[in-house]
Structure 1
C-alpha cells in the first residue's frame, strides 16, 4: 500500500465527522498531485427535491460565485456524474455549453480537473473532483494515477456518505409505534386496517403517522416510508 493510502486510512480511523474525513480526502488528492478537491453528495429523497450537499477546498470567492450564479444547475461535471460512473476529464469540449463558468473557474485555479461519481446501495450518489491550476493530465499520468483516484472516490464516498447521513438524522427519532405503523403502511395497509391489526383507533394511527411525517420531513405517507427504507434498508421488521 502506498504511503498516502496508509495516511488516508489512518486519518479515517481518527476522523470524528464529515469535515475531518474531507480533510483526509484533500490531503490524499494533494499527494496525487492536485491542489484542490471537492465532494458533492446527492440524496434521492425527497424525490421531488433531492438534496445536494457540497464540500470543497476551492477559493472561497469561487465558492460564493458558484452559488450566486446558480452554476450547480448548469455544471457539466455534475450533469455527467449524475448519469455516469465513469470518470470525466475537464476540457473545453465538456464545458462548451457553459463557457463563462469554465472561464471563471480557470481564473480561480481550476484549470485541470478529473471527476468521478460513485453510487451506493441506498441510491445516494457522490461525486469527487480533483483539480489543479496547471500541467494538463497526460496519458501517462492518467494511466499511473487513475486506479488510485478511482479507489479514493469509492472509499471517500462511503465514508463521507455515512458521516453526512449520521449528521442529518432527525434529533427526535421515530418511536417504536411510529416505526411499526410506517412498516405496516409499507406493506400496503390502510389506517383502518392498521388500527385493527394493532387494536388502536384510526385517530391514534393517524396521530402517529402525522408525528412520523414531521420527524422525517416528509409530506406524505409514501415519502415517509421511502425515507424509512433509505435510512434503514436492512432494518428489522416489527411483524
Structure 2
C-alpha cells in the first residue's frame, strides 16, 4: 500500500467535496481497492424491534444477496457487530465483536461468510443526542496494519459526516428543489441513481430498500414530472435542475 497517511488524506479530501451519495459510494468503492475490503455499509443503529436494515442504512455497499438475506431474517437485532457498537467507542474487527456477542450472533457471522464477508473492520459513532451508528467494511480478507486501521478510521469519520450531511440535504434541500412538482426527497434520490445508470434493482441494493419500492418512487416522479418513461423523467429532472 502507498503511504497510508497521504492516501487517507487524499481520500478524505475527495469525501469532503462529495456532494451526492453517489459520489460517497463511488469513493468508498475505490477506497476498497486500496485497503482491501470488498463491501461497506454506513448506517445508524435501530431504535425499536420493528426497524430493519432499510430503516437504518444511509449508504449501502453490501452484496445484494446478503442485503436480502439480512433483511428477510431480521439479522439487525442479533448481529454481534451491531451489539458491539453499542458497547465500545473504539474501532474493532468483526471477530472481536463475535467473541463478545450472543451465541445467536454466530449464525449471522456464518451466513455472512457465504457472501464473501469473512472479516471486517467497524468504526462506531456515539452522538451527543444519544444516537448510535457505524461504518463497517468487510471482505474475504481484511488484513489491516495499525497504520491502515488508523487511516481507515479517519476515512470512516469523514464518510459518515458526508453521508449524514447529504441525507439532511436530501430531506430538506432536495425536497425544496422539487417542491414545484411535489417530488419527495426519496423520489429525487432514486432519479439521481437512475441518471447514474443504475437499474431499480441496483438502486434498491444501494439504498437498502426493495426494487419494487424504487419502481414506485420512479413511477411517482414520472407522473409528477409529466414524463412517460424513466429516461424522460431523468431528462426532465435534469432540465429543471432538480438533479445534477
TM-score w.r.t. length of structure 2: 0.58
Aligned with 1:21 (options 20, 24, 32): 24
Aligned CA distance change for structure 1 residues 102 and 42 (closer, same or farther; 3 Å): closer
Structure 1: gaps (5+ residues): 173-239
Find the partner of 2:67 among 56, 63, 66.
63
SS of the residue corresponding to residue 58 of structure 1 reads coil
Instruction: State the aligned residue count.
Output: 167
> What does residue range 1-239 of structure 1 map to in structure 2 within 5 Å?
2=5, 4-12=7-15, 14-42=17-45, 52-91=56-95, 92-94=98-100, 96-134=103-141, 137=143, 141-169=144-172, 171=175
CA contact (8 A) 2:41 2:61 kept: yes
Deviation at 1:126, TM superposition (A): 3.1
Q: Which one has a larger percent helix, Structure 1 or Structure 2?
A: 2
Alpha-carbon deviation of 1:34? 1.2
1:38–1:53 Cα change, 3 Å = closer
Distance 1:64 1:58 in 2: 10
Any conservation in 2 of the 1:41–1:126 contact (CA below 8 Å)? yes
* TM-score (norm: length of structure 1): 0.59
Q: Contact between 1:110 and 1:133, CA under 8 Å: does it hold in 2?
A: yes
Following TM superposition, the consecutive aligned residue runs of length 4 or more in structure 1 with deviations greater than 4 angstroms are 48-51, 120-124
Higher relative contact order (CA 8 A, sep 6+): 2
Structure with the greater alpha carbon radius of gyration = 1
